[in-house]
Amino acid sequence: MARSKTYISESNITDGLNSPSKILKILGIIVLIWFLVSLIKGFFVTVESWFVGVKYRFWKIDYNELMPWLHIVTPVLDEVKLVNVRVKTINYKWQMDIPDNYKEWIINKPAITVLDKRWLPISVELTVLYQLKQTEAAETIEKYWFLWDEKLVNPTVREVVRDIMWWYEAENVPEKRQEIADKIKSSLQEKFKNSVVNLVDVQLRNIELPARVKEKILQVQIAKQEAEKQKYELEKAKVEAQTRKVRAEAEAEAKIERAKWEAESIKLKAEAQAEANRKLSNSITPNLIKYKFIEKWNGQLPKIIWWNGQILNIPGDILKF
């Protein structure tokens, strides 16, 4: 018995796919798969690093923040908002340029303009680094929404800078720069100590003074430099005069010492000569004179020419011993 062969034509396949029931079944399967995937996915929420999750249930906030990890939630009933808790930077500066590597955690704002003790305008440029505390994220969102930078940090920074600069006069600001920087930092640390924000660092960049104040400071600096120069020249002249005085005194002392030495030398020579003369005088006796005379005598009687031209012979008793 021969098997019967069933031939399915292309038209039959096309007709089957184009039938409304078949299309509805395929769409139903796709919708079901999408629903199942969405349902399964809705049970899980991933909180990445540098973020915390704030969960809402029936539009009521849950104060137990979701730390970075994979969390299970109830689909439809729960809504999770991710809050960035990385370190943020606010730059208060004149140039409002945005760098190429601009990120949402880098905020640029105009320099803070305040008044000094005499109501002169001063512009302060500084950088503030801060971080939202992870355990305070839910409370922060409830109180400030996602605008805690504008509603909390920025007003506090401006208030502190204004209050501190009020106690200084513009012309004294340059020499008090480090003191001002320390006060701003310590004051902000005190302000944020019990808040939802953790202050990381404060860096004072620049303090721009009014033009007339800068001109006055420049004149004062020039005057101080001139005074320092004159003081230096005066000190130099005093040192040179003292040096000449010391050199003259040294030369005078040297001359005195040399004169004393020469006088002492002459005295010693005189004393030595006198002593020699004394000894010579004590050593000359009449017998020695006779001896020396006889020693030098050549056997002839000496003659002495007297002043009156007469020749005087030596008396004979001189030759007696």
Q: Look at residue 202 in the predicted model and tell me its pLDDT.
A: 93
- Domain ranges in the chain? 88-209, 211-283, 289-317
The domain 88-209: what is its CATH number? 3.30.479.30
Q: What is the pLDDT of residues 195-210, one digit of tens each?
A: 888 999 999 998 888 7
User: Rounded CA gap, 120 and 118, in Å?
Assistant: 6
Q: What is the pLDDT of residues 265-289, one digit of tens each?
A: 787 777 777 777 777 677 666 766 6
What are all long-range contacts of 67-70, with beta carbons under 8 Å and residues at least 24 apart?
67/134, 70/44, 70/45, 70/46
Inform me whether the pLDDT recorded for 106 exceeds 90: no
Q: Of 115, 51, 121, 124, whose CA–CA distance to 91 is shortest?
A: 124
- Name, in order, each residue with C-beta under 8 angstroms of 293's C-beta and a sequence gap of 6 or more: 318
Q: Look at residue 272 in the predicted model and tell me its pLDDT.
A: 76
Cα angle for residues 66, 69, 73 (degrees, 5° grid):
60
Q: Of 66-70, 86-90, 144-148, 204-208, which range is least confident?
A: 66-70
User: Rounded CA gap, 242 and 248, in Å?
Assistant: 10
Inform me whether the pLDDT recorded for 250 exceeds 70: yes
User: Rounded CA gap, 93 and 111, in Å?
Assistant: 4
Confidence of residue 1 (pLDDT cuts 50, 70, 90): very low
Q: Is the pTM of this model over 0.75?
A: no
Confidence of residue 35 (pLDDT cuts 50, 70, 90): low
